[in-house]
Amino acid sequence: MPPRSFDALSRRSDAWTASAALDLLPENSGPRVEVLRGCVVITPDSDLDRRTVQRKLGYLLKQAARRAELWLYHEVNVVSNDDLFIPDVAVLKVPGGGRTTMSIGHAVLLGEIVSPGNRRKAVIDRPREYAAVGVPFFLRVDLRNRVPTMALFELSDGEYRPLAAAAAGSTFAMREPFEFSIDPAELLDEEEPVEGEG
């Protein structure tokens, strides 16, 4: 079998599926490669603020999730029929155990971190897609103007309804699917660079 390459994107004429993407495209640490309704969706690597928040939030959420016997992963391949999602944060009912993919049926909570380049995807598209496949909880962290806000939504009658929300300087507290609280301001631990630096 020839080595996997992104050249497969231009050579394939059939609709893409999660399994085709996982079989034909290379693993990478750069852009995210997801599959939605037969199309490959490539998202460039994120900015430093988004990565900082993902790392810090993931670390803190992971501890809370483990107390509830749940498992948290960053950017794990989540498969839903032919679609392949790579959420920023995934809380699952079962451990990954060395797998390369997890079924959407194992997802308890999927989370997205909003940045300028992915606003529509994280605010409109992903919640709609995750709700359609029955993911019980959706978590959104928004970094607009470097003032983090967090919102937790619960699936009810096929749509997400808000359960908890807070902006920097106040406390975000959730009780489901496990207990967790934080001031969203703690997620960005670096000052904005002074103009002309770096």
Instruction: Inform me whether the pLDDT recorded for 8 exceeds 80.
Output: no
Report the distance separating Cα 164 and Cα 55, nearest Å. Answer: 21
Report the distance separating Cα 89 and Cα 140, nearest Å. Answer: 10
pLDDT value at position 71?
95
Q: Which two tokens stand for residue 158?
A: 């096929």
pLDDT class of 20 with cuts at 50, 70, 90:
confident
Omega before 136 within 30 of 0, i.e. cis: no
Mean pLDDT of 66-81: 91
Q: Is 11 helix (H, G, I), strand (E, B) or coil?
A: helix
pTM for the whole structure: 0.81
